[in-house]
Amino acid sequence: MIPNKNHIQTVATAPPAGARWTGLRGLLRARGGRLTPQRIAIYEAVVGHTTHPSVEMVHAAVRARFPGVSRATVYATLDLFADLGLVQEVGGRVRRYDGRAGRHVNLVCERCGGVTDIADPRLEALERRTAVRAGFDVRSARFELHGVCPRCRAQSRRAGGRSGTKASGGRRTEGARDA
């Protein structure tokens, strides 16, 4: 049986009575939306994890609970969550999402597509100093470095290849970019 999209399949998909979903419910209501079981499932598939799932991975996880959920719903919800600052889209070959709260650097491997989080308490101070210097009101920030991870570099060395990046003039990072 394929449930109707408003049907709650299990108790686990219903928002808890406590304050856990109050903030998200308020953010969505301010945008004219509502907190559905499908949105909860999408949120839980990304936020709080360090796996940086692709849209396909999120869709597969949510379809396990809600077989009728469309890929378009997952894309739209992830875009909404990014606009609300709950997740960040990570650059790279595949559209991935970062649900980790707090400022950190995403190291994105151009070969395997892996994403590694590195926390650095100095990022907030750097962001603040840079914004003040430019008189800029920051709405969101994304810190990414693109290059080749240690595992891919080691594989390349074993295969007798170069350890540099793609043909990009030898440039190894893009530095910090605004989202």
Give the pLDDT of the chain (179 residues) as one tens digit per residue.
Answer: 333 333 333 333 444 444 678 888 888 988 888 999 999 999 999 987 878 999 999 999 999 999 999 999 999 999 999 888 888 888 778 888 988 867 888 898 999 988 888 888 888 889 899 999 999 998 777 788 999 999 999 998 888 765 444 433 333 333 333 33
pLDDT of residue 78: 94
Distance CA 46, CA 1 (A): 27
**Lookup result for tokens 């350890």:** 163
How far does the chain reach from its first CA to its final CA, in angstroms? 41
Q: Structure pTM?
A: 0.63
Task: Classify each residue of 87-96 as buried b or exposed e, where b means 16 or more C-beta atoms within 10 Å of its C-beta.
Answer: bbbbbbeeeb
pLDDT of residue 27: 87
Say if residue 20 is exposed, middle or buried (CB neighbours under 10 Å; 0-12, 13-18, 19+).
exposed
Structure tokens that stand for 141 in this block: 């920030």
Q: Are 107 and 116 in contact (CB under 8 A)?
A: yes
118 backbone dihedrals φ, ψ, rounded to 5°: -130, 120
pLDDT of residue 175: 35
Helical residues (DSSP H) of 3-140, grouped into ranges? 22-30, 37-46, 55-65, 71-83, 122-134
CA atoms within 13 A on the CB side of 15: 18
Structure tokens that stand for 66 in this block: 């809600």
